[in-house]
Structure 1
Amino acid sequence: MNTQPERDHGFQIWWQLTRPHTLTAAFVPVLLGTVLALEYTSSLHWPLFLAMLLASILIQAATNMINEYYDFKRGLDNENSVGIGGAIVRNGVKPETVIRLAFTLFGIALLLGIYICMNSSWWIAVIGLICMAAAYFYTGGPMPIAYTPFGEITAGFFMGFVIILISFFIQTGAINNVVMLVSIPVSILVGAILLANNIRDLDGDKENGRKTIAILLGRKNAIYFLASMFAVAYGSVVALVLMGIVSPWLFISFLSIPKAVKATNGFIGKTMPIQMMPAMKATAQTNTIFGFLLSIGLLIGYFV
């Protein structure tokens, strides 16, 4: 009986290399930042929204490719590895091709960034370059961020907080306390995606010398920590509503709670990475559904 993973073919190889299930983590913050801007601008600049959206997705996809390249170079990936694109170890794509494609996507994102700067502020260029540097050094360089306890904080800050603020700023020309506070729960849930990934890969990461939060806490406590991140994210929405900062319509985001519960329960009692894939998927879906519903709540509150 053949137990080897089935090889992808043609376009599917390149699509899987982007790790499409992670791309919504780039889409949701742009959407939320733009919807928040409605309250402070007479009309949205749709080309800027689309440029920001595409640039964020390209940076996320490039980050995934850099991850794939360096994990292969360091001997972490093989044909049976779970949660990877598999272009190199399963489909025979040259590592140099993967890293060149990643930098090509960075280049396209940079061109989009120039357009964004021309229509907003050149300070965005500085922030954008810092974001791309963080994306590269997440798994690249002599001391990858992914090997430290700071992966979740880095991902949540850059892929949540910063992207939401940029998306808001390019529409309004300013930043305020409301957008910063509303960005907190989404930033936490972006970090939760990384934590879920690290819980799944805990044993392999430990063998390869990583010091992630999941490793430092241990599997059981890491699952508790994941649950607490979900609780804080939803609790922050309650606080924002009670303080009168946002409309009660944002409680619609609580419809995503079953996904958060599924994600947490999906890790309990599991030790094999393949067993934890549904929980990993549910964590990413929690972020996606929560972010969409939060945006819908803001839209309803704006028009009602």
Structure 2
Amino acid sequence: MSSIQNQNIKASLNEREGFQVWWRLLRPHTLTAAFVPVFVGTMLAAIEQSFDFWLFAAMLLASILIQAATNMFNEYYDYVRGLDNENSVGIGGTIVRDGIRPQMVLLLALSFFAAAGLLGVYICASSSWWVAAVGLVSMLFGYLYTGGPFPIAYTPLGELTAGFFMGTIIIAISYYIQTMTLTADVLIVSVPVAIFVGCILLANNIRDRENDAENGRKTLAILFGHKGSIRFLTALFAIAYLWTAVLMIIGLLPWWSLVTLISLGKARKAIQGFIGKKEPLEMMPAMKATAQTNTLYGFLLGLSLLIQLYFPL
């Protein structure tokens, strides 16, 4: 690809030089998948009158570091395996378009993992060392998502894995380190958040479906096809909102959680953004709307729990 073509793609994606290159490497719109479950899990604990700010801050930073490192591993191994090139319209591109050395990306990923590990020591020392075992398994799966001989991202299990570890597991840990207990109710409440996290990955795979198929991936988006994937994404959104409604009816969530319905507008925008689109660049707004749905829903859910703490219904 010529430098002119490369610049045209960067302009279309609104990619800038300097600090923005390193910011894009983190894939910031995915980092809400780390913030939301920590916030929700901590607010669930706060309702039980258990809240330690420094544990919350450490857990939040560790989760963000692990998510960012996972994104870097994704960028590195997609490049190594030839999935990413200068023509790729992705949320990374720091290697193929910005010229950052692959070894630097890998080193940063490992450094972020190490920093998260140090925070994990503090978290475990303040709560329980059993958290270390769960944290190490989560970090391992973060690496294996695109690393190792059989990357999870190349299979139909990517969305399930991401939702489980970045949704349910993080909520469970965030709740446990505050209360030193864990109930089935917390796991049940985590389901909508896990679904929305999985939806972010599904949206990414819908955009990359044709390129992924050419490179041997077997994602759900490839198995379902474009229209089938949109229907599946719609079904996941519907299940998440219906699940939330049921949780309110049975009393596991307060009626304040009705405020999460505000995020429906973003979910609708995401679905409409994929319909009739063929080119990856055309689907970027739909991907953004999917991530925003997770962010808005999760923030409003956590906020509703906080309101319940002070104004119980």
Q: TM-score, normalised by structure 2?
A: 0.94
Q: Is the 8 A contact 1:68 1:84 kept in 2?
A: no
Aligned-pair CA distance for 1:219 = 1.1
CA contact (8 A) 2:47 2:308 kept: no
Q: Distance in 1 between matches of 2:191 and 2:150?
A: 27
Q: RMSD in angstroms over aligned alpha carbons? A: 1.2
- Runs of 4+ in structure 1 over 3 Å off: 5-8
Partner of 1:221: 228
Q: Residue 29 of structure 1 corresponds to which residue in structure 2?
A: 37
From 169, 179, 199, the equivalent of 1:172 is 179
Question: How many aligned positions are there?
Answer: 303
CA contact (8 A) 1:156 1:187 kept: yes
The aligned residue for residue 154 of structure 2 is 147
Corresponding position of 1:162: 169
Q: Quick one: distance in 1 between partners of 2:268 and 2:43? A: 27
CA distance in 1, matches of 2:92, 2:276: 26
1:201-212 aligned within 5 A: 201-212=208-219
Alignment of 1:182 onto 2:189: yes
Correspondence for 1:256: 263
- 1:185 & 1:163 partners in 2: Cα distance? 13
Residue identity matched to 1:28: V
1:177 Cα deviation after fit: 2.4
Q: Which 10-residue stretch deviates more, 100-109 or 84-93?
A: 84-93
- Where 1:78 maps in the other structure, the secondary structure is coil
Structure 2 distance, partners of 1:246, 1:19, is: 31
**Contact 1:8-1:91 within 8 A present in 2 as well:** no
- Verify the 8 A CA contact 1:30 1:163 in the aligned structure 2: yes
1:278 pairs with 2:285:
yes
Asked if 1:60 corresponds to 2:62, the answer is no
* Residues in 1 aligned to 2:250 and 2:121: alpha-carbon distance in whole angstroms: 38
CA shift for structure 1 position 8: 4.0
The amino acid of 2:5's aligned partner reads T
Deviations 1:210-266 (A, max 9, x none): 111111111111110000000000000111111122211111100000100110111
State whether residues 272 and 286 of structure 2, in contact with CA within 8 Å, keep that contact through their aligned partners in structure 1: yes
Q: Name the structure 1 match of 2:112.
A: 105
Query: Does the residue aligned with 1:16 lie in a helix, a strand or coil?
Result: helix
Give the letter for the 1:227 counterpart.
T
Question: Deviation of residue 10 (structure 1)?
Answer: 2.8
AA in 2 matched with 1:54: L
CA distance in 1, matches of 2:32, 2:288: 12
Letter in 2 for 1:24: T
The one-letter code sitting in structure 2 at the alignment partner of 1:20 is P
1:234 counterpart (231, 241, 247): 241
- Please give the per-residue CA displacement for 1:18-77, whole angstroms capped at 9, x wherever unaligned: 001111110010000001101223x41111100000000000000010000001001111
Question: d(CA) in 1 for partners of 2:109 and 2:245?
Answer: 40
Determine the C-alpha separation between the residues in 2 that align with 1:293 and 1:39: 15
Cα deviation, residue 94, structure 1: 1.1
Measured in 1, the distance between the counterparts of 2:251 and 2:95 equals 51
The answer for the alignment partner of 1:246 in structure 2 is 253
The answer to whether the Cα contact below 8 Å between 2:202 and 2:221 also exists between their aligned partners in 1 is yes
Q: Distance in 2 between matches of 1:302 and 1:177?
A: 20
Name the aligned partner's letter for residue 152 of structure 1. E
3-state SS of 2:117 partner: helix
